[in-house]
Amino acid sequence: MTELEKLTYERLDKAGVKYEVIQHEAVFTMEDLQQAGICDLGTMCKNLFLRDAKGRRHFLVVTTEEKAADMKQLAAELESTRLSFGSDERLMNCLKLTKGSVTPLGVLNDDNLAVEVAFDKDLAGSAKLGFHPCINTATVWMSFDDIYRMVKEHGNSIKMIEIKGNA
């Protein structure tokens, strides 16, 4: 277990979050998760680390596994300029995460509160959402209310948005 993964579980425990953990082989895509059968256990979340055109704003967009977000629609929802994926370097600098391990739990590593979090409205009220615990060899299952509360208490900006696209 990495130090970052251990710290993630400690933070969940300290916050009183009820969660389950499933260990698995390293996965890098939603397809990898589906092939491993992990998606069958609840609603697996897709997490997109994005930046605006000038690289001044960073976003973590969290939606359901089956949605394919339209970047133009997302930019409008987020009141942003054109969006693109953040580089591996930006991901490490902002959330201390590596490609394939993007998770809203990574926001807890954002000491500068630089990343704006956008949750898909369709996630609200979900009892069992799946995220990586800052590493892609495990999945943590928890409620939407708990992840929302943790991000809010950490202090990052949160917005609920409507994501219309399907994969």
How does pLDDT run across 33-78, given as a tens digit for each residue? 777 777 677 888 999 999 999 999 999 999 998 888 899 999 999 9
Tokens representing residue 54 in the block: 């000038």
Global model pTM greater than 0.75:
yes
Tokens 């954002």 correspond to 110
Q: How many CA atoms lie within 13 A of 59 on its CB side?
A: 28
User: What pLDDT was estimated at residue 24?
Assistant: 86
Q: For the residues 130-154, what does the mean pLDDT come to?
A: 95
Q: Which domains does the chain have, with CATH numbers?
A: 3-161 (3.90.960.10)
Under DSSP, the state recorded for 91 is H
Q: For the residues 146-163, what does the mean pLDDT come to?
A: 96
Beta bridge partners of 22: 139
Tokens representing residue 36 in the block: 């491993």
